[in-house]
Structure 1
Amino acid sequence: MNIAPATAIASELPGRTNRRETIRARLKIWWRELDHVLLGLIVILIAVGCAAISAASPAGAARLSSDEVTLNPLRFLFLHLRWLAVGVPAMIGLSMLSRDSARRFAILLSAAMVAAMLLVPFIGSEVNGARRWLNLGFSFQPSEFLKPGFAITLAWIMSWRLKDPEIPSFALVTGALGVVVVLLMAQPNLGDAILFSGVWFVLVLLGGVSFRHIAGLFAVGLMGLTLAYAFYDNARHRIDSWLFGGTDFDQVDLAQRTLLAGGWDGVGFWVGVKKFRLPEAQTDYIFSVVGEEFGLLACGAIVLLFFAIVLRVLVRLASEENYFALLAAAGLTAQLGAQAFINILVNLSLFPSKGMTLPLVSYGGSSTIAVCMSLGLLLALTRRNPFLTRETAGLRNMLFDKERDK
């Protein structure tokens, strides 16, 4: 007769002490499985963002001040810390989810945000000519909160191919992208439409879709950009300004001059003056503010920091055995890296202005919380038992082993 150990029986008895021990044990497991390097890089990025916003906040506050009301120069820093107080706990909480729970959460979040985006053209709030926000007692941007769920939902659909190759997963994820793009262009929001398309491209590429299908849809995408240029005035003006140059007061030109004004080591914290001419110093063009006050070396350090985050995830995925987790983490990383890449290129006048923030560096409410949620889900997907030996090639196999498709 098998008799259970006394410790096992005791652990099943109800009691406050046992519950505390269970919670403590689960926290220990979570901490052991967590990617500490990735978490450290995220913490550094958050600290860099706070420093950058404290430098840009006086410019944003001065721009919004009037003769009757003078805003606190650190207004945007205080607001940013408030959003971080919501976003960071959300990130930690989501990082504790199992992969199945993270998938369910992402699917529900995606469905809710797509439903919210359907309401935006009708009851959304208009800011600077774009209707992207909903006000339900509090204002939020549904497309920002769709980002954490979009990549994971598409990865889940693409992972069906392992169970049944006959499932039209490529058609399903392409249809989902089409719905999202149509809703974004109704706002209009060309920048996020490009970003979501980039995430889709990475997932179908890793998912083993033939290049013939990808090339065909790439041609459709180019046609869509052409139509946007022809019928979307804001996109046409920004592209024309980028291609042919503009006046001394164009946003991109102002951003580039501000970026280069500090030289290699910057003019000094709170000493910059060109930042006061930028229209969105604390959001879209905060990278230029960093260049003026902290120098090009600091800008290079930010670029390296984002590169380190992307590289760390790819290293983590190199031996990942779970197909869904691999696709989902790769999609979230592509989304984070692409958004940072586009923002930095805009500040360097190498890409048309898109109104896209620099993740966790720019000030933002919806943006900050959504990025924290994305990183929390990424931490959950990259958690790993450190005592488990993995023998498969993971991402390396998907990218380089051609025998897989034969």
Structure 2
Amino acid sequence: MTGTVVPQPARRRRSKFTRIGGRGDMSAIGRWFWEIDRVLLLLVTVLISVGLLAVAAASPAAGARYSGGAVQFAPLHYFWRQLLWLMIGVPVMIGISMLPKETARRFALGGAAAFVVALMLVPLLGVEVNGARRWIGVGLAQFQPSEFLKPFYVVSLAWLLSLRTQDRKLPVLWVSAGFTALIGGLLMLQPDFGQSVMFALMWGALVMLSGAPMRLIAWLGGGAVGLVLAAYEFYPVATLRINNFLHGQGDTYQVDMAHATITGGGLFGTGPGAGIAKFRLPEAHTDYIFSVIGEEFGLVACLAVAALYLAIVVRVFVKLLDQEDNFLLYAGAGLAVQFGAQALINMAVNVGIAPSKGMTLPFISYGGSSMIALSIGMGLLLAFTRRNPYLQRSPYVTVRTQA
């Protein structure tokens, strides 16, 4: 007797793409690993490592200056504190980079609103440091609202300008101009002329990127020149900074010491810890840390650091070349411009081709507010440049199910 052969169900096999960490891994960490721009993340990691080394080099000089000559002051005090800020900043950066793009956008809009309010409170609740009232809080809880506002402002501005694609009649340009003017006015009250210039620069860059007519761009350029001249004439802080830079008037000690420090090591530097000029340099661990790099590691190392910043900015723009979403294009480009412009301004001040602005060198200068704010900005940038590399290689979407 012959029986009926009952076909057995085919054994379902687990696709090789569904293993943990594979492209089919649907966990949050698995998706993040394959979608993140790992080259950009690697460049940022190298920059952070360079920053730790630079802060370690500058820490003895900063400690000797700000400890009041205390014998027991730890030479690496600022290095250990920077390491603490990194232990906070890096997880913040990774956590934000894992956010879906829409969630990251909403987070940035909420952050912009919160820190504009904080900026308004600075004149009332702020702490005065070196003649300027820019900080809120006490001790380790102090923070500088303008530092945190920068990345949130860029994303908010990108969202505003992207609305023009939905309705060309929306007055987003003038709304964004008013928003920028409000921030600039609040910053000049502190006073913080350098950050005011920075926000205006970011606004101009994004307006040009959004496709503004050349006639309007020409008017904006002329307006910018007029505002600088007006600031020179009626804003004492700008007058002092510009006169010191152009005519060598007033106290030029910082500029002179920065030049002596950055050139003191020649091409290859005096060696780690062997710098001498850095002990006469104010703010060696923050504003003028680039000069310390020049003294101890040489001008070649300074060029390498500049090239690293350039590589990060170029990498972002290469990733955005085929971006079709206007918001993601503007946000990514704006964050890259903010990051690169801040680095460029700081390095220009250190080599004496720009007036002092009190602006930190991203991920290298010491500072809690700067480190965490930059980590937020880089986290947003990594979130907005995330892509599925498998789907990029094929116009077809292949769905694989896990057994």
TM score, norm. by length of structure 1? 0.88
Does the CA-based 8 Å contact 2:36-2:387 persist in structure 1? yes
The equivalent position to 1:216 in structure 2, one of 201, 216, 219, is: 219
Other structure's SS at 2:27 match: helix
Deviations 1:229-249 (A, max 9, x none): 223333222211211235895
Other structure's SS at 1:140 match: coil
Which residue does 1:91 correspond to in 2? Answer: 93
1:170 matched to 2:173? The reply is yes
Comparing 115-124 and 249-258, the one that deviates more: 249-258
**Where in structure 2 are the equivalents of 1:3-402 lying within 5 Å?**
25-67=27-69, 70-135=72-137, 138-245=141-248, 250-389=253-392
**Structure 1 residues 241 and 136: alpha-carbon distance in aligned structure 2, compared to 1, 3 A threshold:** closer
**Structure 1 counterpart of 2:137, one-letter code:** N
Does the CA-based 8 Å contact 2:244-2:251 persist in structure 1? no
Structure 1: distance between partners of 2:374 and 2:348: 20
**Structure 1 residues 115 and 248: alpha-carbon distance in aligned structure 2, compared to 1, 3 A threshold:** closer
Deviation at 1:213, TM superposition (A): 2.0
Does the CA-based 8 Å contact 1:114-1:180 persist in structure 2? yes
Other structure's SS at 2:389 match: coil
**Structure 1 residues 248 and 116: alpha-carbon distance in aligned structure 2, compared to 1, 3 A threshold:** closer
Comparing 254-263 and 42-51, the one that deviates more: 254-263
**Structure 1 residues 218 and 248: alpha-carbon distance in aligned structure 2, compared to 1, 3 A threshold:** closer
**Structure 1 residues 249 and 217: alpha-carbon distance in aligned structure 2, compared to 1, 3 A threshold:** closer
Comparing 322-331 and 219-228, the one that deviates more: 219-228
Deviation at 1:82, TM superposition (A): 0.7
Structure 2: distance between partners of 1:204 and 1:249: 36
Does the CA-based 8 Å contact 2:135-2:142 persist in structure 1? yes
5+ residue gaps, structure 2, are 1-11, 13-23, 396-403
**Structure 1 residues 277 and 386: alpha-carbon distance in aligned structure 2, compared to 1, 3 A threshold:** same
Does the CA-based 8 Å contact 1:84-1:368 persist in structure 2? yes
Comparing 350-359 and 199-208, the one that deviates more: 199-208
Comparing 66-75 and 91-100, the one that deviates more: 66-75
Deviations 1:257-286 (A, max 9, x none): 210110000011111110111110000000
TM score, norm. by length of structure 2? 0.89
**Structure 1 residues 136 and 363: alpha-carbon distance in aligned structure 2, compared to 1, 3 A threshold:** closer
**Structure 2 counterpart of 1:110, one-letter code:** A
Deviation at 1:34, TM superposition (A): 0.4
Does the CA-based 8 Å contact 1:319-1:390 persist in structure 2? no
Quick check: which has more Rg, 1 or 2? 2
**Structure 2 counterpart of 1:112, one-letter code:** A
Structure 2: distance between partners of 1:313 and 1:134: 33
Comparing 198-207 and 241-250, the one that deviates more: 241-250
**Structure 1 residues 329 and 244: alpha-carbon distance in aligned structure 2, compared to 1, 3 A threshold:** same
Deviation at 1:164, TM superposition (A): 0.7
Which residue does 2:20 correspond to in 1? Answer: none
Deviations 1:204-246 (A, max 9, x none): 1111111222222332222222222223333222211211235
Deviations 1:110-145 (A, max 9, x none): 000000011101111011111100116821000000
Does the CA-based 8 Å contact 1:246-1:253 persist in structure 2? no
**Structure 1 counterpart of 2:76, one-letter code:** L
**Structure 2 counterpart of 1:93, one-letter code:** G
5+ residue gaps, structure 1, are 1-6, 8-21, 393-406
Percent of paired sites with the same residue: 50
Deviation at 1:64, TM superposition (A): 0.8
